[in-house]
Structure 1
Amino acid sequence: MTSVSEIQVDAEEINSLLFAAKNGQWNVVWKILGHPSKPRKPFLLNCIPENRRWGVLHQAIWWNNYSVVNKLLQFPTCDIRIKAKEGVSEIGPTGGKSAEEIALGFKRTEIAQLLKNNVSRLGAQAPETFHPLSSGLQDYVLSLLKVTLAAYKTAFQPQQIESKTFNDLLREVWQNVNAVPGRWKVARDKVAEAAYVVCEETCNNIKACKRKQEFYEAIINAYTIEENYLYDHLNTALRRQRQADYMPTADDLALGPYVLMYQLLLLFWNKLRKESSITYRRMRVSATDLEKYQVGTKFAWMSFVSSSVELEKAVMFPTCGPSGDKIIVFTIDTSTPSHWQPRNIEKFAMYMERERVFPAGAKFLVTNRTPDRTNTDQTNISLKLI
């Protein structure tokens, strides 16, 4: 089955999953998710798709079904911090409330205590930065984008899909959002809803956009505002992606529409010029991660990657990213013509850092590696975009 057809199957199962949970049909829920000891699609557990305000866990709480809640908590992917989308129920507004808060609101005291005693380990996952390309240069299918396209099929996908590959599907989605009258407004509302998870002000700014280009510019600008930590949340979510055993948090999935639109802009918006010269990136890593960047190694960065055309402006972001006591200064040759070339976003950025951003999933070859002559903790590594 191709990644494109998998997305369509996931879309159907997400709808079936949430419909079944809402109606207390737990046999259907287990058929889709599997069993905690033998999971089938556990990465869908924290999904709250378009036109839904609650996830599976919230619905089990509403049904006051202690055994179902207990079983859901046995899935390693179950995120007890999952927040409801904006909406009103019998207990009033539930937007932004956690599972435990909703349990308390409905006076499900035993379930609330169960949730309180449970410790989610999802957020403790160590986000990977380096993804080796061990079997050629095949395209990675970005798991977060894949689930987002399934969960928000009506909002983003055209009615008729002609694509055979994932990247072709992204192009179709872009054409649908960008060219079909009114579609950008649907995307705007979903992106604003996604931004609410991290920053209400960003959500309101995007929601207030009256023109399509204003909407596109707001997405890019918000990404560059360090104070709202959006950069941190988006790239942590992307670095948690796996080809197998994908375990997204609830917030990862909630941010999906924002991540998708930013990826589409970086790949296809003609207002963002491709960079084909040298760019620089400075990054702090552990000694173990440093050793992965050996000459001849091919790898992918699964997150959005900021770089600069000026070495002195290639600073490490203080709010997020990999950590360690080793410093790498990357010199990146971006001359290879491809849709992975970094885009010039400085016209729409909050700060003048001569910033060039690589789309998530860009692939590189390590061409050189030398210790820095003046800083024993720094290694200078040359990359070529492939």
Structure 2
Amino acid sequence: MSKDKLFMNAINEGLDQAMEKDENVILLGEDIAGGADVPHLEEANEDSWGGVMGITSGLMPKYGRERVVDTPLSEMGYMSSAVGMAATGLRPVPELMFNDFIGFAFDAILGQASKMRYMFGGKAKIPMTVRTMHGAGVNAAAQHSGSYYGMFASIPGVKVVVPATPYDAKGLLLSAIEEDNLVVYSEDKTLYSTKGEVPDDYYTIPIGEADVKRKGEHLTIVTIGKMLFVGLEVAERLEKDNVSVEVIDLRTVAPWDKDTVIESVKKTGRLIVIDEANPHNNTATDIASVISDRAFDFLDGPIKCICAPNTPVPFAPNLEQAYIPDADKVLKEADDIIFDLKS
């Protein structure tokens, strides 16, 4: 059976089902339970606070504080602990509150978790899923609003998923937790309150497979995270001009699904990539590079990468909205590969 569920509740349900299925799944992070060892706070937080966004709410009373672990305010400490847990047989799911805080925990990911399986000849497994959040749009200012999934994706040994719908959020999370390698699971904070149909049962979605959300013949748009909805709006607006747009939700940033994108470009001859990350050395430019190399003869025009500007995220609401790519920006910046398609 399926029901309409909030994005955040789909994640919570995925965590719950993973913990129910496997007692080795351990959650840890700052305030994900709330009130440990403070009697009046423990009483006030019987149902668990669930972290800054409430995603893990309700899991501590069900599984106890030994499996839903509040940590000190030390990203390096608890992320390194999670690496040790993973190397010794547990399946930790540490929560990095905002992806902007990666600097405090980077060695645990870059120097340790991503390299252990390789350095030990495949004998070591690191089944660790780092949950974190990214994205502008809630006036959280520069230190809490960046989109750095591409930074994680540049590290060999790290898989990175960025779901855009509640259905994908649950299925990709369960796949990530089952994975025997390090996975960064990046959630866009502006999507938590969005709704979509999600099965009640346990299910997985393969990591590394994009999803064609809309079929088309004339133009391919590849999106990451909430940029899916920008791509779909562009497709709807161009449909009025008899332009048929194929919209691909990448879903996995590392490894991204080259075959699906290449086959689409071979069909349409035109490509736009929409990525909220800053423009230098990001996933959009990587996609453009690969398509230019492997599908150049099928292109009827230049590849267009529509990204955020090369600045931190502004705090002022009007500037923040100008920072985030939208349909108007896509149509304006990619007009030279679109205008001749219109009838």
TM-score under structure 1 normalisation? 0.30
When Rg is computed on C-alpha atoms for both structures, the one with the higher figure is 1
